Chain A
């Protein structure tokens, strides 16, 4: 059974810092990996999607990497801003099953201090 772990559970940084969020998964047979952002009381916003054949994806100040063989992904946020404060969730999609379900980590709660 796939298990997804995110470390740290919470992170507080001053504005302007570059930071890395970590995600690890136990079963390397994945279809893709998706990073989401969740603001308090809101739904999930998809940030980046990395296919299993890819090593990284970039969107603006965000860069996500994937090392499938070691079961790891990182989300790099450059020049952090207070507006980046949110919970960041990592989810992997397995190969088995027609619906290709997502397995989520518990998230990293990020606070960027002005």
Chain B
């Protein structure tokens, strides 16, 4: 089965600072990769997904971006964080064909 690693586990950043969250996957090749955000009291919102290296699709307009430099590496970035970027960020992976998604442990981001 797949194992998804995310780091850091928690992060506190000031408004206007840059962001880089990393996700790596073990146990599969050429997965579909996803970034979700879960705000307090709300459901999961899909931010980005990728079906291959260098292929990124954005679901919502925002000041975040994603990149996939390697097959099993997915990075979420921002040049300048906003207060509204606070939340719980989850990376997910699905094997080719996307039958079942597996999630990482998440990163808790607090923007002050």
Contact = CB atoms under 8 A, between A and B. Distances in A.
Contact of B57 (A32, A44, A99): A99
Interface string B78-112: 00000000001010101001111111111010000
A44 to B, nearest CB: 4
A106 interface: yes
Interface in A32-88: 32, 34, 36, 41-46, 49
Contact of B106 (A31, A34, A42, A106): A42
A25 interface: no
Sort chain A's interface into a size bin: 20 to 34
Given A89-B44, A99-B57, A101-B46, A44 B103 contact: yes
B24 interface: no
Contacts of B99: 32, 49
B51 A34 contact: no
B49 interface: yes
Given A42-B105, A42-B106, A99-B57, A104 B100 contact: no
Interface string B55-75: 001010000000000000000
A91 B104 CA distance: 16
Contacts of B34: 99, 101-102
B27 interface: no
B32 A99 contact: yes
A107 B42 CA distance: 9
Given A89-B44, A99-B98, A101-B46, A41 B103 contact: no
A99 B34 CA distance: 9
Contacts of A89: 43-44
